[in-house]
A and B are shown apart, each in its own frame.
Chain A
């Protein structure tokens, strides 16, 4: 759990981690979440895995940009309102700075081969982290040997990847399945 004593170095660490994750990852919220999980759940243990997944699910089903929603909620969960403001600021600052600068010389930026090489490398690094987080979660889910969650998992995966189903519908259906059939405590 997050340390009881919320001193300056805690906020500095929270800000720095979120800032770097936001600065170096290209892609939506589903990319940000595994990276934040790797950092805050696996490295620091400030929040547990179940909570992180719950918040991701809620962030996905709310209006607004998922990446912002997720970082606000994770920050709030770890350190209340100051935490939420810290993570939100750290999430929006990198695009704010990049875009303000880039808006002045976009052409030169997009054509620079060295920038492309660095971005490509970072893309591979982020992919490795995401693969690792996903494999961890999948192994855990399979080891629980519960039919219903595995059906939801594979059903949502197929609906989203093969049939390109709208995410909002997937979330709604899964929530309904949960509400109707997963009230037993072994699922939580």
Chain B
């Protein structure tokens, strides 16, 4: 019963993969490449390349791709469902506990410690996004002045629009259009 197997195996992956992204890569590889031969190692590496330019976490992308290869569209849906089922259950339990015990001083204190940490981690993500947008690299290169001028201009326009409180969705669509137009005009 390939459908059940896909669902259960990705359930297990979803349950134990901690850290996300590259941290979960060996684990997923172990199941889909080494144990079940659902895809080859080069296909598996392709998934990571695709993940760089399409939405979605690596785990979900791998689940979808594997499921689609092994058992078509129903397979991709079941594998992805399997992957997120544990998260759904765990998150709802945590939310329930938080509602019940969230007012306890110790829990409040821990959350107070974590809030600035989230801001810090978002700042790190923001910087890597800026370097990726302007220099197509995950760090600031030696040749700092060699920036992608088109990207810089779109970024500045988008920032002004954000400050003017443009809706997030409209802004993303508009940025995509600006990218296309500037790409065609200044090839």
Contacts and interface: CB of A to CB of B under 8 A. Distances in A.
A49 to B, nearest CB: 9
Nearest to A157: B120
Contact of B64 (A69, A72, A100, A156): A100
A30 B126 CA distance: 9
Given A22-B56, A128-B162, A178 B111 contact: yes
B163 A132 contact: yes
A26 interface: yes
B122 A66 contact: no
B162 A57 contact: no
Contact of B129 (A31, A102, A188): A31
Interface stretch (B1-9, B29-37, B82-90): B82-90
A157 B127 CA distance: 11
Contacts of A54: 111, 114-115
Which 4 pairs of residues, A with B, have the shortest CB-CB distance?
A: A121-B179, A178-B113, A95-B56, A125-B175
Interface of A: 16-17, 20-31, 33-35, 38-39, 43, 50, 53-54, 56-69, 72-73, 76-77, 81, 84-85, 88, 92, 94-96, 98-100, 102-103, 106, 110, 113-114, 116-134, 137-138, 141, 149-150, 152-157, 160-161, 166-168, 170-171, 174-180, 182-183, 187-188
